[in-house]
């Protein structure tokens, strides 16, 4: 009897496990469905992020003013990655900014700074197994921020450039004495006097026939002409007036007098040209800008209009309010004349913050300030450049009638570590210390010029961190002769456009 009851109980338990198995299978299928769709969502999240990155990098170079191209190129960057933004429609600036809508995806942007762009990209993707649970689509939003790095500022952190002995004047008080003038030589000046790009010829023995042509001469008929300065106008600066001090050539008779204008090699001095150009979308190339407005130029024949320009600040042009950007001041000389002309530039803003004036790519300068040691601003190297290579080039530097030295100094005041060599017109070289980087203190004269007609090429690995607040590399000049004519250039090797952390 007992065995019959136990058999009956077992018969009643048959099939009890089936509902549990069904539930477990359902859960496993749900988890598998969730895993498949979750992977799909993560995959598309990465795709949307890449497209947002591309959109930000494509559009950022058109800041701060070319908003139409910011929008169209940002949308093109997203569409190149497979996202259909649809018909372009301009929205209001701000958050969100101009947008592209009409397609299955949408894009919006806003300007965080004059050179920093934030792009938001929205996309909707279909699901697979999650449809069973009512999730037909899944929305993905990704944000990307890109910025372009402006040209390396040379020579000045202030609203003025090449102040020489002027010190504080007008509304420009340099952070420290600049101790140099901006300078341009006439085309028939020997390149070996220190201007690498405005002179047509070189010869160690003076003017000769036939002369040796200067392969680095920036001919007025070429692409690059003369020298370029940036007038960097931030948002909120209001109207900015650009003025030039002692713009024309007026022979002083001695390098140590006032600006030190002097005839050299071929009498006459230099015919001077100044022109202010509008901002554009290629800040690293100052030679392709468009004319700002009629009248933003000076043409001054050698020695002419001295009652107007000599030892005077004269307004060149006023940049209208609400137009931030990097404007370009181009300066060059013309005519069959030889000599060196010195001048200064300043930018007066109606509001704070002030505009800044600095050289772009290279600068031609003249020092005639007394004193055994001078400190000059060389190049501003921001934190984004940490770990990159800073290339410095100095033409015909540090001529003196006694021992003279130049030292590249880091923002913290310590000597930079560099490797260097020098080369002249014929390919002759002078090599720096062997064995790797050493203190970048270079003797330029031992009573006779060491680098007359030579380019000194120095390379510095930019330290990390670069700086805390003052990010200027400086040049310490030790000499006894109170005048020197030279050309300096600086560039950072590396991509000028980069992604940044989102705000």
In sequence order, which residues have a C-beta less than 8 Å from that of residue 351 and are 6 or more positions away? Answer: 236, 237, 238
pLDDT of residue 409: 95
Q: Where are the beta strands (DSSP E) in 26-71?
A: none
Query: If 0-12 CB within 10 Å is exposed, 13-18 middle and 19+ buried, where does residue 119 land?
Result: buried
Q: Does the pLDDT value for residue 163 go beyond 80?
A: yes
Q: Does the pLDDT value for residue 216 go beyond 80?
A: yes
SS3 content of the chain, % helix, strand, coil (to 5): 20, 40, 45
Q: What are the tokens at 169?
A: 């004047």
Instruction: Give the CATH number of domain 370-503; options: 3.30.70, 1.10.10, 1.10.3470, 2.60.120.
Output: 2.60.120
Half-sphere exposure of 334 (CA within 13 A, CB side): 11
DSSP state, residue 435? S
% of the chain exceeding 90 in pLDDT? 43
- Minimal CA–CA distance to 479: which of 336, 393, 373? 373
At 484 the three-state DSSP class reads strand
Q: 166-202: b or e for each residue (b if 16 or more CB lie within 10 Å)?
A: beeeeebebeebbbbbbbbbbbbbbbbbbbbbbbbbb
Q: Does 324 sit behind a cis peptide bond, omega within 30 degrees of 0 on the bond before it? A: no
Q: What are the tokens at 498?
A: 């980069």
- Contact assessment for residue 369 and residue 472, using Cβ atoms and an 8 Å cutoff: no
Rounded average pLDDT over 429-447: 91
Query: Parallel, antiparallel, or unpaired: how do β-strands 99-100 and 484-493 relate?
Result: unpaired
Q: Does the pLDDT value for residue 401 go beyond 90?
A: no
Task: Name the H helices within 102-222.
Answer: none
Q: Does the pLDDT value for residue 316 go beyond 90?
A: yes
pLDDT of residue 96: 41
Residue corresponding to tokens 């002078």 = 430
In the chain, which segments carry CATH 2.60.120?
370-503
- Contact assessment for residue 471 and residue 410, using Cβ atoms and an 8 Å cutoff: no
Task: Name the H helices within 60-185.
Answer: 67-79
- Minimal CA–CA distance to 440: which of 413, 458, 422? 458
pLDDT per residue as tens digits for the range 234-278: 888 899 999 999 999 999 999 888 999 999 887 788 999 999 999
pLDDT per residue as tens digits for the range 9-54: 455 555 556 665 656 666 666 666 666 667 767 777 788 899 999 9
pLDDT of residue 373: 76
Tell me phi and psi for residue 268, to 5 degrees.
130, -30
pTM attached to this predicted model: 0.79
Q: Which residue has the higher pLDDT, 254 or 124?
A: 254
How far is residue 292's CA from residue 317's CA, in Å, rounded to a whole number? 9
């Amino acid at each position: 009897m007992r065995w019959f009851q136990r058999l009956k109980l077992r018969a009643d338990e048959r099939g009890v496990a089936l509902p549990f198995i069904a539930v477990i299978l359902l859960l496993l299928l749900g988890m598998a469905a969730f895993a498949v769709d979750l992977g799909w969502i993560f995959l598309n999240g990465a795709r949307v992020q890449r497209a947002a990155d591309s959109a930000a990098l494509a559009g950022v170079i058109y800041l701060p003013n070319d908003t139409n191209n910011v929008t169209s190129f940002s949308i093109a960057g997203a569409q190149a990655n497979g996202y259909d933004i649809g018909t372009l429609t301009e929205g209001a600036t701000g958050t969100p900014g101009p947008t592209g809508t009409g397609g299955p995806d949408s894009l919006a942007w806003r300007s965080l700074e004059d050179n920093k762009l934030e792009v938001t990209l929205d996309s909707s993707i279909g699901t697979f197994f999650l449809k069973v649970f009512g999730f037909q689509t899944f929305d993905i939003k990704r944000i990307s921020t890109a910025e372009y790095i402006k040209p390396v500022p040379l020579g000045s952190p202030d609203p003025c450039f090449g102040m020489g002995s002027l010190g504080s004047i007008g509304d420009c008080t340099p952070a420290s004495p600049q101790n140099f003038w901006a300078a341009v030589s006439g085309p028939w000046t020997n390149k070996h006097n220190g201007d690498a790009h405005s002179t047509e010829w070189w010869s160690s023995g003076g003017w000769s026939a036939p002369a040796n042509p200067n392969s680095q001469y920036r001919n007025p008929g070429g692409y690059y002409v003369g020298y370029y300065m940036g007038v960097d106008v931030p948002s909120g600066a209001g109207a900015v007036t650009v003025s030039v001090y002692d713009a024309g050539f007026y022979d002083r008779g001695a390098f140590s007098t006032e600006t030190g204008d002097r005839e050299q090699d071929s009498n006459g001095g230099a015919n001077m040209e100044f022109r202010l150009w509008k901002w554009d979308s290629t800040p690293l190339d100052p030679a392709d800008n468009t004319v700002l407005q009629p009248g933003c130029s000076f043409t001054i024949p050698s020695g002419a209009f001295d009652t107007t320009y000599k030892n005077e600040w004269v307004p060149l042009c006023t940049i209208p309010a609400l137009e931030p950007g990097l404007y370009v001041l181009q300066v060059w000389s013309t005519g069959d004349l030889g000599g060196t002309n010195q001048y200064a530039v300043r930018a007066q803003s109606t509001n704070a913050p002030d505009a800044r004036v600095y050289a772009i790519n290279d600068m031609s300068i003249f020092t005639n300030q007394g004193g055994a040691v001078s400190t000059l601003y060389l190049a501003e190297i921001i934190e984004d450049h940490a770990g990159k290579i800073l290339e410095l080039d100095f033409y015909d530097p540090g001529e003196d009638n006694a021992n003279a030295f130049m030292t590249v100094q880091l923002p913290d005041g310590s000597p930079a570590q560099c490797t260097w060599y020098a080369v002249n017109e014929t390919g002759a070289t002078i090599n720096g210390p062997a064995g790797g980087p050493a203190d970048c203190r270079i003797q330029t004269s031992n009573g006779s010029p060491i680098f007359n007609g030579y380019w000194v090429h120095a390379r510095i690995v930019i330290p990390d961190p670069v700086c805390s607040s003052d990010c200027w590399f400086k040049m310490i000049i030790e000499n006894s002769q109170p005048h020197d004519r030279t050309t300096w250039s600086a560039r950072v090797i590396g991509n000028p456009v980069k992604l940044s952390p989102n705000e």
